Structure 1
Amino acid sequence: MQLRSVRRIHGSGDGAVAALDDVSLSFPRATFTAVMGPSGSGKSTLLQCAAGLDRPTSGSVSIGGTELTELTERGLTLLRRERVGFVFQSFNLLPALTAEQNVALPLRLAGRRTSRARVRDVLDRVGLADRAKHRPTELSGGQQQRVALARALITRPEVLFADEPTGALDSRTGREVLAILRSLADRDGSTIVMVTHDPVAASYADRVVFLVDGRVGGELSAPSAEEIAARMTALEAVPC
């Protein structure tokens, strides 16, 4: 997946704000990248443009050779449904459905055949094979996030986007979710892009990309949580 010279301008005239300003990044297959930066640095906008949830003002975004900026709205919807997975801080599970029904939902919405074996396989992958019949209210926060992760995996996405996936979890369950994300890159060859504010979470990634005022402000390769925290402290100390 690649972003080339991506700009995203909000507003117009004197009130225009560049949420992203000439951002070029590559996210190779089978890698796990964390995106960090001070508040308002453009992290969420980067994720939305990369995932086809928002269109850049200029520049290009491509996933597996498909140029997203050239797709119609229907084309973007199909791409997100079939080739992209999402995990958010809020689990977004339907309370009336069981875990296995929540996981199968993307396939049902796409009109695709739902294989119970496939559903059970992804639930087993996230350690919840024995919770298939439980509804969200019968699950802990960490279990709900793992159901949400299984739901994202059911379509075998090329790229998985995670927006603060451990933000609502305690440290132990957060580590469990991060270990699953790590294994998706290592074992399945998935491309993982995670926005986070947590240096410990970011340390699970192969690299950490830092954004500052909508621009790439450097990156670290295989860093420790301490190195990430030190870089973030330095970035946040820079006057606007």
Structure 2
Amino acid sequence: MRSVAPVNQTRAVELDSVTKHYSHGVTALDDVTIGFAAGTFTAVMGPSGSGKSTMLQCAAGLDRPSSGRVIVDGRDLARLGERKLTLLRRDRIGFVFQSFNLLPSLTAEQNVALPLRLAGRRPDRDLVRQSLEAVGLGGRAGHRPTELSGGQQQRIAIARALVTRPAVLFADEPTGALDANTSRDVLRLLRTLVDRQAQTIVMVTHDPVAASYADRVVFLADGRVYGELHDPTAELVSTRMLQLEASC
């Protein structure tokens, strides 16, 4: 059963009138206002060039908007200097990408502990093991990436993103490099993290099947929000995407 967000549930992430201009005259985001409730799973979709990745980057503090506000875990990113913003990203924001970005010389356990070491913290082995258990790979702690399948490597990347107990996990095409069966395994894992641990997840994807695992799908086109879909199915998402692409 999917999580159901109460009407007044706290928002883990808020974008308020966010606009992003680039120097070559392109407006990637145009006055976007949207919120992502804590403990929910949102997929972000849209045609190529719609602003999906730019929205994720601004929401995650990887890029600063030209105007508007971004609030993550109750903190206005515009009020943070670079050092404090870096600390917020490190401690309260998790990232998962299409490429796994694991260090081949390190074991799964060492890869998961890496964010803690980079933060100057002594890794809590129990916490690292709990993160591995959460993604179903507690028995693979001593394996290196070359000894793991693609799906297992992405699970390790997710465990690494979870080890700091982030307020929100941003995923950019997390199943893009995986086959259909492995993709479903990873998507079921993300769904379970939301349902059992109340993890907030915002996922950019082009795949209607991937989007169907979310509680809500937000559609972008030309840098603007063009509606959303709750309790999505792959068929409904596909239909909405065809309509959106035909109108652009």
The TM tier, using the shorter chain, reads over 0.9
Query: What are the residue-to-residue correspondences of 1:88-237 with 2, within 5 Å?
Result: 88-237=97-246
Query: What are the residue-to-residue correspondences of 1:2-21 with 2, within 5 Å?
Result: 2-11=14-23, 15-21=24-30
Letter of the structure 1 residue corresponding to residue 17 of structure 2:
S
Corresponding residue number in structure 1 for 2:70: 61
| Cα distance, 1:106 vs structure 2 | 0.4
Structure 1 residues 152-205: Cα deviation after superposition (integer angstroms, max 9, x where no partner): 000000000000000111111111111111122222122110000000000000
Unaligned runs of 5+ in 2: 1-12
Q: Report the secondary structure of 2:171's partner residue.
A: strand
Q: Report the secondary structure of 2:166's partner residue.
A: coil
| Cα distance, 1:124 vs structure 2 | 1.4
Between the aligned partners of 2:16 and 2:217, the Cα distance in structure 1 is 18
Between the aligned partners of 2:138 and 2:199, the Cα distance in structure 1 is 22
Q: Taking every aligned residue pair, what percent have the same amino acid on both sides?
A: 70
Unaligned runs of 5+ in 1: none
Q: Is 1:32 matched with 2:44?
A: no
Letter of the structure 2 residue corresponding to residue 185 of structure 1:
V
- Give the alignment's TM-score, normalised by structure 2: 0.93
Between the aligned partners of 1:69 and 1:190, the Cα distance in structure 2 is 24
- Give the alignment's TM-score, normalised by structure 1: 0.96
Give the 4+ runs in structure 1 shifted more than 4 A.
Answer: none
Between the aligned partners of 1:104 and 1:167, the Cα distance in structure 2 is 25
| Cα distance, 1:82 vs structure 2 | 0.3
**Number of residue-to-residue matches in the alignment:** 236
Between the aligned partners of 1:173 and 1:128, the Cα distance in structure 2 is 14
| Cα distance, 1:113 vs structure 2 | 2.3
Letter of the structure 1 residue corresponding to residue 106 of structure 2:
L
Corresponding residue number in structure 2 for 1:86: 95
Report which stretch shifted further, 142-151 or 183-192. Answer: 183-192
Report which stretch shifted further, 25-34 or 127-136. Answer: 127-136
Letter of the structure 2 residue corresponding to residue 23 of structure 1:
V
Question: What RMSD in Å do the two structures reach over aligned CA positions?
Answer: 0.8
Between the aligned partners of 1:6 and 1:121, the Cα distance in structure 2 is 37
Q: Is the 8 A contact 2:73 2:92 kept in 1?
A: no
Query: What are the residue-to-residue correspondences of 1:41-60 with 2, within 5 Å?
Result: 41-60=50-69
Q: Report the secondary structure of 2:37's partner residue.
A: coil
